[in-house]
Amino acid sequence: MERVVEHYKLKNIHEIWPNLNVYLHGGVYMEPYKTRLDRVLGKEIHLLNTYLASEGYFAYQTSPEREGMQLLLGNGIFYEFIPFNRGFFDENGNLKDKHIAFNLSQVQPGIDYAMVITTNAGLWRYMIGDLVQFTDVEHYEIKITGRIKQFLSLVGEHLSLDNINEAINTVGKKLNLEIDEFCIVADTENCTHKWYIGTNSKVDKTEIMEVIDEKLQLLNDDYKTCRAHNLKNPSIKILSTDLFYAFLERNGKTGSQNKFPRVLSQEQGKNWLNFLKKNKG
């Protein structure tokens, strides 16, 4: 839409698409992008979330006023939910042998669950890698809170992707910033988190890091405890957004079905740091 507006020298997208009223999105946390989206719009539109994957179509948001997405129960998919906690998953996000899977009649709101599916296409108790929470157990409405393999826990801080996204959203609103991309690398040698923020705005990186750190301590008691004892001050580096897209392109990950990983694995982190070194990031 930005390119269409630029190409035709428009004030906003509604000058060429006057009937645009609904924007469907899925697979990405939308909050940090809303300011950027609003800038290209001429009037308010409805945002609706969807949950579609290669393995099946799981849920969709029935109304902008509803926080969660309605789980689809008639699509030939049987759902189970494993609580994402230290009892059932190790520090690397691997499922332990001893665990419990709940069905829809047993789930509770506000708990991170790893979603497991059995489908009439042939998948049998397949864990798709997403974490979900139930926002409404009566109507089976869920929201995606992260990925099993994308969480931070160097020394027991147990930061979920949901915590991280909320912190980014907070700093964007508080400091009036557009943060288009970001990622985190766990520095095991120095026992700290390294943040890489992609924005083309003029910013005070120290202020950004203070807001993020403060918000994470409010959201997560484990993180607050670790910061007080053995987790050192996080560091931050401000980068051009183009560097994030260039990294994806170099790895053959361009296109609408790809997104930048927020918590980088050890191998991803190594590749990212090498890329920044070569590109003077």
pLDDT tens digit string along 54-95? 899 999 999 999 989 999 999 999 999 999 987 898 877 889
Residue 49: the pLDDT is 95
At 254, list the tokens: 């361009």
Q: Mean pLDDT of all residues in the chain?
A: 91
Tens digits of residue pLDDT in 92-131: 788 998 889 999 999 999 899 999 999 999 999 999 999 9
Tens digits of residue pLDDT in 233-280: 999 999 999 999 999 999 888 776 678 889 998 899 999 999 999 987
At 76, list the tokens: 């030939």
Q: By the 8 A CB rule, do 279 and 250 touch? A: no
User: The pTM is what?
Assistant: 0.77
| Cα 271 to Cα 268: distance, rounded to the nearest angstrom | 5
Architecture (CATH level 2) of domain 161-278:
2-Layer Sandwich (3.30)
* Sign of the torsion formed by the C-alpha atoms of 121, 138, 105 and 135: positive
Q: How far apart are the first and last CA of the chain?
A: 28
Q: Where are the domains of the chain?
A: 2-44, 71-147, 161-278
Residue 107: the pLDDT is 97
Per-position DSSP letters for the chain, written without gaps between them: -HHHHHHTT-SSGGGT-TT--EEEEESS--GGGHHHHHHH-SS--EEEEEEEETTEEEEE-S-TT-SSEEEP-SSSEEEEEEE-STTTB-TTSPBPSS---B-TTT--BT--EEEEEEETTS--SEEEEEEEEEEETTTTEEEEEEETTB-B-SSS--B-HHHHHHHHHHHHHHTT----EEEEEEETTTTEEEEEEE-SS---HHHHHHHHHHHHHHH-HHHHHHHHHTPPPPEEEEE-HHHHHHHHHHTT--STT----SEE-HHHHHHHHHHHHHTT-
Q: Which of 146, 139, 179 is nearest to 162 (CA)?
A: 146
